[in-house]
Structure 1
Protein backbone atom coordinates (compact mmCIF):
# COMPACT_ATOMS: atom_id res chain seq x y z
CA UNK A 1 0.00 0.00 0.00
CA UNK A 2 1.09 3.52 -0.65
CA UNK A 3 0.80 6.24 1.96
CA UNK A 4 -0.81 9.35 0.44
CA UNK A 5 -1.51 12.88 1.61
CA UNK A 6 -5.17 13.54 2.44
CA UNK A 7 -5.67 17.11 3.64
CA UNK A 8 -3.36 17.54 6.62
CA UNK A 9 -3.29 13.79 7.26
CA UNK A 10 -1.79 10.71 5.70
CA UNK A 11 -3.97 7.89 4.41
CA UNK A 12 -3.73 4.39 2.97
CA UNK A 13 -6.21 2.47 0.86
CA UNK A 14 -7.13 -0.94 2.19
CA UNK A 15 -6.95 -3.79 -0.31
CA UNK A 16 -10.26 -5.51 -1.07
CA UNK A 17 -9.02 -8.81 0.41
CA UNK A 18 -8.33 -7.10 3.75
CA UNK A 19 -11.65 -5.23 3.67
CA UNK A 20 -13.44 -8.52 3.04
CA UNK A 21 -11.49 -10.31 5.78
CA UNK A 22 -12.37 -7.59 8.30
CA UNK A 23 -15.97 -7.44 7.09
CA UNK A 24 -15.76 -3.68 6.58
CA UNK A 25 -18.20 -1.57 4.63
CA UNK A 26 -18.34 2.10 3.74
CA UNK A 27 -19.03 4.23 6.81
CA UNK A 28 -17.59 1.74 9.32
CA UNK A 29 -15.26 3.22 11.91
CA UNK A 30 -12.10 1.42 12.94
CA UNK A 31 -9.55 2.15 15.66
CA UNK A 32 -5.86 1.40 15.54
CA UNK A 33 -5.48 -0.53 18.78
CA UNK A 34 -1.79 -1.40 18.56
CA UNK A 35 1.18 -0.41 16.47
CA UNK A 36 4.50 -2.19 16.51
CA UNK A 37 7.42 -2.10 14.15
CA UNK A 38 5.96 -2.99 10.76
CA UNK A 39 2.54 -4.06 12.09
CA UNK A 40 -0.72 -2.37 13.04
CA UNK A 41 -3.82 -3.89 14.62
CA UNK A 42 -7.27 -2.50 14.05
CA UNK A 43 -10.69 -3.25 15.43
CA UNK A 44 -14.13 -1.99 14.51
CA UNK A 45 -16.27 -0.02 16.93
CA UNK A 46 -18.63 -3.03 17.05
CA UNK A 47 -15.75 -5.35 18.01
CA UNK A 48 -14.71 -2.92 20.76
CA UNK A 49 -18.28 -2.83 22.12
CA UNK A 50 -18.53 -6.62 22.00
CA UNK A 51 -15.20 -6.96 23.84
CA UNK A 52 -16.32 -4.48 26.51
CA UNK A 53 -19.55 -6.42 27.08
CA UNK A 54 -17.61 -9.70 27.31
CA UNK A 55 -15.29 -8.10 29.89
CA UNK A 56 -18.28 -6.95 31.96
CA UNK A 57 -19.85 -10.42 31.80
CA UNK A 58 -16.56 -12.00 32.86
CA UNK A 59 -16.70 -9.93 36.06
CA UNK A 60 -20.09 -11.47 36.92
CA UNK A 61 -21.64 -8.11 37.69
CA UNK A 62 -25.26 -8.43 38.77
CA UNK A 63 -27.77 -7.92 35.98
CA UNK A 64 -29.82 -4.75 35.95
CA UNK A 65 -33.55 -5.09 36.54
CA UNK A 66 -35.58 -5.43 33.34
CA UNK A 67 -37.37 -2.13 34.02
CA UNK A 68 -34.12 -0.17 34.68
CA UNK A 69 -33.84 3.13 32.82
CA UNK A 70 -30.67 5.20 32.96
CA UNK A 71 -31.29 8.84 33.88
CA UNK A 72 -28.34 11.04 32.95
CA UNK A 73 -29.54 13.99 35.07
CA UNK A 74 -29.92 11.77 38.12
CA UNK A 75 -26.48 10.27 37.60
CA UNK A 76 -24.90 13.73 37.31
CA UNK A 77 -26.50 14.84 40.59
CA UNK A 78 -24.38 12.34 42.55
Structure 2
Protein backbone atom coordinates (compact mmCIF):
# COMPACT_ATOMS: atom_id res chain seq x y z
CA UNK A 1 0.00 0.00 0.00
CA UNK A 2 1.30 3.43 -0.94
CA UNK A 3 0.86 5.96 1.89
CA UNK A 4 1.63 9.68 2.02
CA UNK A 5 3.60 11.46 4.73
CA UNK A 6 1.98 14.71 5.97
CA UNK A 7 3.14 17.59 8.15
CA UNK A 8 1.77 17.58 11.73
CA UNK A 9 3.11 20.51 13.74
CA UNK A 10 6.91 20.25 13.68
CA UNK A 11 6.72 16.51 12.95
CA UNK A 12 5.71 14.27 10.08
CA UNK A 13 2.72 11.94 10.31
CA UNK A 14 1.55 8.81 8.54
CA UNK A 15 -2.15 7.90 8.42
CA UNK A 16 -2.86 4.27 9.16
CA UNK A 17 -5.61 2.84 6.92
CA UNK A 18 -8.80 1.80 8.74
CA UNK A 19 -8.42 -1.84 7.67
CA UNK A 20 -4.98 -2.01 9.30
CA UNK A 21 -6.34 -0.34 12.44
CA UNK A 22 -9.09 -2.97 12.71
CA UNK A 23 -6.65 -5.84 12.17
CA UNK A 24 -4.27 -4.51 14.80
CA UNK A 25 -7.10 -3.83 17.21
CA UNK A 26 -5.81 -0.34 18.00
CA UNK A 27 -7.70 2.87 18.63
CA UNK A 28 -6.96 6.55 19.05
CA UNK A 29 -4.69 7.11 22.04
CA UNK A 30 -3.17 3.62 21.99
CA UNK A 31 0.59 3.25 21.90
CA UNK A 32 2.48 1.51 19.10
CA UNK A 33 6.04 0.22 18.90
CA UNK A 34 8.13 1.55 16.01
CA UNK A 35 11.48 0.03 15.00
CA UNK A 36 13.92 0.56 12.17
CA UNK A 37 14.54 -2.63 10.19
CA UNK A 38 17.88 -3.84 8.88
CA UNK A 39 16.85 -3.09 5.29
CA UNK A 40 16.06 0.58 6.02
CA UNK A 41 12.32 0.17 6.63
CA UNK A 42 10.08 1.01 9.54
CA UNK A 43 8.18 -1.64 11.47
CA UNK A 44 5.14 -0.42 13.41
CA UNK A 45 3.13 -2.72 15.67
CA UNK A 46 0.65 -2.40 18.48
CA UNK A 47 2.40 -2.13 21.83
CA UNK A 48 -0.08 -4.65 23.25
CA UNK A 49 -0.06 -7.46 20.71
CA UNK A 50 -3.29 -9.47 20.66
CA UNK A 51 -2.08 -13.02 20.05
CA UNK A 52 -5.63 -14.40 19.73
CA UNK A 53 -6.53 -11.85 17.03
CA UNK A 54 -3.35 -12.75 15.15
CA UNK A 55 -4.22 -16.47 15.29
CA UNK A 56 -7.73 -15.74 13.95
CA UNK A 57 -6.22 -13.77 11.06
CA UNK A 58 -3.83 -16.64 10.25
CA UNK A 59 -6.70 -19.13 10.31
CA UNK A 60 -8.61 -16.99 7.79
CA UNK A 61 -5.60 -16.87 5.47
CA UNK A 62 -4.80 -20.59 5.80
CA UNK A 63 -7.37 -21.71 3.23
CA UNK A 64 -6.38 -19.05 0.71
CA UNK A 65 -2.68 -19.91 0.88
CA UNK A 66 -2.32 -23.68 1.09
CA UNK A 67 1.24 -24.91 1.47
CA UNK A 68 1.70 -28.09 -0.53
CA UNK A 69 4.48 -30.61 -0.09
CA UNK A 70 6.26 -29.34 -3.22
CA UNK A 71 6.38 -25.80 -1.82
CA UNK A 72 7.81 -27.02 1.48
CA UNK A 73 10.50 -29.05 -0.29
CA UNK A 74 11.37 -26.08 -2.51
CA UNK A 75 11.76 -23.90 0.56
CA UNK A 76 13.97 -26.49 2.24
CA UNK A 77 16.20 -26.81 -0.83
CA UNK A 78 16.63 -23.04 -0.98
CA UNK A 79 17.14 -22.56 2.74
CA UNK A 80 20.46 -21.11 3.80
CA UNK A 81 21.60 -21.96 7.28
Q: TM-score if structure 1 supplies the norm length?
A: 0.49
- Greater RCO between the two (CA within 8 Å, min separation 6)? 2
Larger Rg: 1
Q: TM-score if structure 2 supplies the norm length?
A: 0.48
